[in-house]
Amino acid sequence: MSKIKTVFQCQACGYASPKWLGKCPDCGAWNSFSEEKQSPISLKSFAVAEPQCLSKIIGGKEKRTPIGINEFDRVLGGGLVNGAIILIGGDPGIGKSTLLLQAVAKITKDKEKATPHSPQKTKDKTVLYVSGEESPEQIKLRAERLSINSDNILLLSETLVENIIKTAEDLKPAALVVDSIQTIYTEELTSAPGSVGQIRESAAKLMFFAKRSEIPVFLIGHVTKEGAIAGPRVLEHLVDTVLYFEGDRGHPYRILRTIKNRFGSTNEIGVFEMTDEGLMEITNPSELFMSERPLGVSGSTVIATIEGTRPLLVELQALVSPTTFGMPRRTSMGVDFNRVNLLIAVLEKKAEIHLGGMDVFINVVGGLKIFEPAADIGIISAIVSSFREIPVDAKTFLFGEVGLSGEVRAVAHADARLKEAAKIGFKKAIIPKNNAERLKNDLGLTIVGVKDVEEVIENIRI
């Protein structure tokens, strides 16, 4: 008989130790070890696969089924792929369950149409929604608020993964939703639900079911206080697609961001607005982020950024004021804090703008988070505008990366950024000189190419 092994596993990073430790030597977390029993995996049930020649494998485009929510389909790469397993993470109350309930309602409305090769009668698609946290009555209350009432949405309150898979195999639904994976457990392990071993084994069983049956599976995952999906990273390695639902509770806007996607591009985003009737799609987020922009105010600039394949124009604000303490404050929301400090050092060294006695605050309006370096000259322009009390022209936008020697470097997708700005009504673009020399300007924009930080400062005046 196989011997059962007992290990202590860190619930933050998954590090395993034969004895209990107060501090994890891998991630540094305190009091994160819990005892878990691990039994050897039996290999008898696995079939031996034959190797295949790469040249003889017939490649085909995966079959996609659009959900019907355009912003959701965008982040998935065009639709739902058969057999895909999709993980959606986000803060509590951000709208994960609401989004998936709206998605399954769209899936059930999609009819399976008869074709000449399969002349069956049309039938509605069913979706199995498994909830390990909420009762069917609680889900019904949310569905009534969203005006969803379908006989094809089947609710199941279950936490044992073997029972979930058995029910899904009998029903053969169009999709399976598990809310949430941290509440699911398997009888093969004795550890508590939510532990690293239980999450890994339960997700692996659901992955094998999805690939074997070609039924797409949605997993909802909780996040830790650091913002990562609890589990820890074992979930992200198992699944095909990882989506993060971002947003501030003080703002009605929600960003659905692709972190990993085996069937499409990464860093794609979908924009939603949380309303009393659920999540509403924002088809033109650039106009939304520009709608409340103040005019003639210093410290406000517009940058053109790329999220996946989508160009976005967002407002970036800076506030520079004399500090009342010995150490000036540096605060950034929506952009990297270390990047802001680097750009402040470039301004002091190359442009002789002394900010050593100034507090500097940076904010991206709308709760959006920007990761690409093309926002560098926008950050510099906003800081200089606030420092010198010089408003930036309301019809001017910027993009470009700044190096440590003060040079402005070219960025990708310049054409898409310019087209998006021209569509909204901007007239002037301050961009890297190398981008400007390679462009064919047929959009009616005044394009100013800049090669260093000093030229950026000279051209932001009205």
Q: Extract the annotated binding site for ATP.
A: 90-97
Instruction: For residue 313, give the nearest of 303, 328, 301, 326 by alpha carbon.
Output: 303
Residues belonging to the binding site are 90-97
The answer to whether residues 375 and 340 touch, using CB atoms and an 8 Å cutoff, is no
Burial 247-262 (b: 16+ CB within 10 A, else e): bbeeeebbbbbbbebe
Q: What is the maximum alpha-carbon separation in the chain?
A: 81
User: ω before 298 within 30° of 0 (cis)?
Assistant: no
Q: State in Å, rounded, how far the first CA of the chain is from the last one.
A: 81
Q: What is the DSSP letter of 391?
A: B
The answer to whether residues 39 and 5 touch, using CB atoms and an 8 Å cutoff, is yes
Give the whole-angstrom CA distance, residue 335 versus residue 391.
Answer: 21
Give the whole-angstrom CA distance, residue 101 versus residue 228.
Answer: 23
| Torsion region of 70: left, alpha or beta (phi above 0 gives left; psi -120 to 50 gives alpha) | alpha
List all residues 6 or more positions away from 413 whose beta carbon is below 8 Å from its beta carbon. 306, 311
| Torsion region of 78: left, alpha or beta (phi above 0 gives left; psi -120 to 50 gives alpha) | left
The enclosing H or E element of 198 equals helix 196-213
Torsion of CA 192, 194, 199, 203, to 10 degrees: 110
The enclosing H or E element of 319 equals strand 310-322
Give the whole-angstrom CA distance, residue 304 versus residue 300.
Answer: 14
Give the whole-angstrom CA distance, residue 155 versus residue 139.
Answer: 8
Residue 72: other Cβ atoms inside 10 A = 23
- At 75, list the tokens: 């982040």
Give the whole-angstrom CA distance, residue 400 versus residue 155.
Answer: 50
In the chain, DSSP finds a helix count (H) and a strand count (E) of 12, 25
